[in-house]
Amino acid sequence: MDYSDKLTKNIIFGESWSTKVINGKEVKRQIPPEEKYIPDVLLTAQDTQIVRNRLNEEYGNDPKIGYRNKLNEIMAIINSFWRQTAFQNYLYKKKQTTADGYKKISGHQKGTAVDLANPKGMTSKQFMDFIKTKCKTRFTYFKLYTWGVHCERR
């Protein structure tokens, strides 16, 4: 698969790629998921697409909600998706995650987790509640951050 190949109607393969650290600097979306994780990456992308679709169904006519594309559709902003172990460990050392890749494999390393940015006009709590109650996804674990919601299938 190539970077621009579609996983769903609105999510491209490159959005699932891991960030890489080069000379101490994070360079986003550089490493594609390993082949063994692709089935989980596809499921996570499908569930993320469900969130995006529901946001547009519920709030598509409310200009106060969501970041919009050229077609005025609300976008699901993916902050982080699949992560290679080296990047997971970098985040752990920087105290940006509690899941140490050497000791515990995180959902990001398996392709079962995605971090979604809050849509404009929604708090993290509102967004999480929306996903849990309005979206029929396979996500079973959620963690709130100031910037968004970690969603994971466990």
pLDDT digits (tens, 9 = 90+) for 41-78: 999 999 999 999 999 999 999 999 999 999 999 999 99
Q: Tell me the domain boundaries of the chain.
A: 13-152
pLDDT more than 70, % of the chain: 96
Instruction: Enter the CATH code of domain 13-152.
Output: 3.30.1380
Which residues make Cβ contacts (< 8 Å) with residue 36, sequence separation at least 6? none
| The token pair that represents 5 in the structure block | 């190949």
Q: What is the pLDDT of residues 77-107, one digit of tens each?
A: 999 999 998 998 888 888 877 665 556 788 9
Closest CA to 110 of 143, 50, 153: 153
Residue 113 burial class via C-beta count within 10 angstroms: exposed 0-12, middle 13-18, buried 19 and up: buried
- Which runs of consecutive H residues, i.e. helices, occur in the chain? 38-59, 85-93, 107-110, 124-134
Lowest model confidence (mean pLDDT) among 1-5, 78-82, 105-109, 140-144: 105-109
